[in-house]
Amino acid sequence: MLPVAFYVVVAAALAVVAIVLRLQRGPRRAVLATLRVATSAGRGPVSQREGPGRAAEAPASRAGSEAHGPGRWSAPAVNLLARPARHLVPASYAASAQRRLTLAGRDRSVDFQRFMALRLVSVLAVVPSFLAIALAGLGGMYGLLLFLLSLAVLVLGPEAWLDRTVSRRQEAVRRDLPSMLELLMISVEAGLAFDQALARAVGSVPGPLGEEFSRFLGEVRMGADHRSALEAVDRRTDIDELRSFLMALVQAETFGVSVASVLRAQAEQARAGQRQHVQEQAQKAPVKMLFPLVFCVLPALFIVVVGPAGIEIYRTLVK
């Protein structure tokens, strides 16, 4: 029979894991909800998809659900955990985490507090995991390997999750950029203004890129100039292909160049860059397949092919 302390430690570890999972589930960004309310006044993507009556009701209902939902119960715990975490970590790490959260599309202050609270909880959970392994009677190599695995998951897991979120979001922006530019080019050449063409293109290309340009339209309609709004999009994405397009728009607005010609050139360049990126990923595939091939496929194949012959040789020569 296992001691009672083991069940207590396991229950504490499960509670810590539940808190970590709860902190990772953030509500939807309130900034996008506010900007969708602003863009619903014109012919933006929200008014096109949701109809005239529901364009302003949906953000309000989402904001109400966030205010009265389960997120309000975790806010005091998040603030309590994030306050000591901000004092314990170096300023350089806090700035790096804030930057990566911005690139991941979570640029609110509450997202930063959740991540810092998550980091503190994951580090503190190392001690209960060690006690649980010790009380379970797992010693020797198995206990050491299990402790190292739990240590890697708890300490490096949040960092890996954040980096993976950033890379997925940037990859989605790169994938949607050529389609967005082609739609903009067709709309502008058809006679629409750039903002109207962008509002139509955003509704046709959902995803992180559409959210960023929808936010750009909201900022422009609330009084920001195009240059500062485009620079804000660049800071929130940090993608070379998108930065080239944004710089071309800024130069076209500064020097009075035709936007249609700039969009055509940028669309061709983005499509060529996407083909090069796909070719580059295809060339990396054999290298990525080398590790599972050597350590997973070849040993099993070796056992299947050589195993029966080895057994027969052992029976014949040794016995």
What are the helix (H) ranges across 89-108? Answer: 91-103
Tell whether 130 and 240 lie within a shared domain: no
Q: Other CB atoms closer than 10 Å to residue 25's CB: what's the count?
A: 10
pLDDT at 157 over 50: yes
Q: Which structural domain range is residue 189 located in?
A: 176-275
Q: What is the pLDDT of residue 15?
A: 57
Both tokens of 159, joined, read 């960092």
Tell whether 96 and 145 lie within a shared domain: yes
What is the average pLDDT across 91-103?
Answer: 92
Tell whether 140 and 271 lie within a shared domain: no
Q: What is the pLDDT of residue 12?
A: 58
pLDDT tens digits, 224-283: 899 999 999 999 999 999 999 999 999 988 888 889 999 999 999 999 988 998 899 899
Both tokens of 240, joined, read 């070379």
Cα(16)–Cα(268) distance, rounded to whole angstroms? Answer: 51
Tell whether 182 and 154 lie within a shared domain: no
What is the average pLDDT across 121-135?
Answer: 86
pLDDT at 129 over 60: yes
What is the average pLDDT across 17-21?
Answer: 51
> CA dihedral in degrees (7, 12, 13, 15; nearest 10)?
130
Tell whether 198 and 157 lie within a shared domain: no
19 in a domain, yes or no? Answer: yes
Q: What is the pLDDT of residue 25?
A: 45
Q: What is the pLDDT of residue 52?
A: 33
Tell whether 131 and 57 lie within a shared domain: yes
Both tokens of 42, joined, read 């014109």
109-124 and 126-135 helices, crossing angle to 10°: 30
What is the average pLDDT across 306-311?
Answer: 87
183 in a domain, yes or no? Answer: yes
Indicate which CATH number applies to the domain containing 261: 1.20.81
310 in a domain, yes or no? Answer: no
Q: Identify the CA nearest to 162 among candidates 19, 26, 18, 14.
A: 26
Mean pLDDT value across the chain: 79
Cα(136)–Cα(5) distance, rounded to whole angstroms? Answer: 10
314 in a domain, yes or no? Answer: no
Residue with tokens 């009265």: 68
Tell whether 184 and 138 lie within a shared domain: no
Residue 14 identity: L
pLDDT tens digits, 29-74: 434 444 453 444 334 433 333 333 333 333 344 444 444 444 555 6
Q: What is the pLDDT of residue 134?
A: 82
Tell whether 21 and 161 lie within a shared domain: yes
57 in a domain, yes or no? Answer: yes
Q: What is the pLDDT of residue 228?
A: 93
Q: What is the pLDDT of residue 72?
A: 55
Burial class (CB in 10 A: 0-12, 13-18, 19+), 68: exposed
Tell whether 73 and 187 lie within a shared domain: no
Q: What is the pLDDT of residue 49?
A: 38
Choose one of 115, 141, 171: the last residue of a domain.
171
Residues 9/130, Cβ–Cβ less than 8 Å = no
Tell whether 80 and 132 lie within a shared domain: yes
Q: What is the pLDDT of residue 74?
A: 65
User: For the ranges 15-29, 144-158, 210-224, which has the lowest average pLDDT?
Assistant: 15-29
pLDDT tens digits, 183-202: 999 999 999 999 999 999 99
Residues 120/85, Cβ–Cβ less than 8 Å = yes
What is the average pLDDT across 147-162?
Answer: 90
Tell whether 156 and 54 lie within a shared domain: yes
78 in a domain, yes or no? Answer: yes
Choose one of 275, 299, 314: the last residue of a domain.
275
What are the helix (H) ranges across the chain? Answer: 4-24, 30-39, 45-50, 57-68, 71-88, 91-103, 109-124, 126-135, 140-189, 194-204, 208-221, 226-237, 240-255, 259-292, 298-317
Tell whether 120 and 182 lie within a shared domain: no
For the chain, the domain total comes to 2
238 in a domain, yes or no? Answer: yes
Cα(194)–Cα(95) distance, rounded to whole angstroms? Answer: 35
284 in a domain, yes or no? Answer: no
Choose one of 138, 171, 204: the last residue of a domain.
171
Q: What is the pLDDT of residue 170?
A: 94
Q: What is the pLDDT of residue 73?
A: 52
Cα(270)–Cα(38) distance, rounded to whole angstroms? Answer: 30
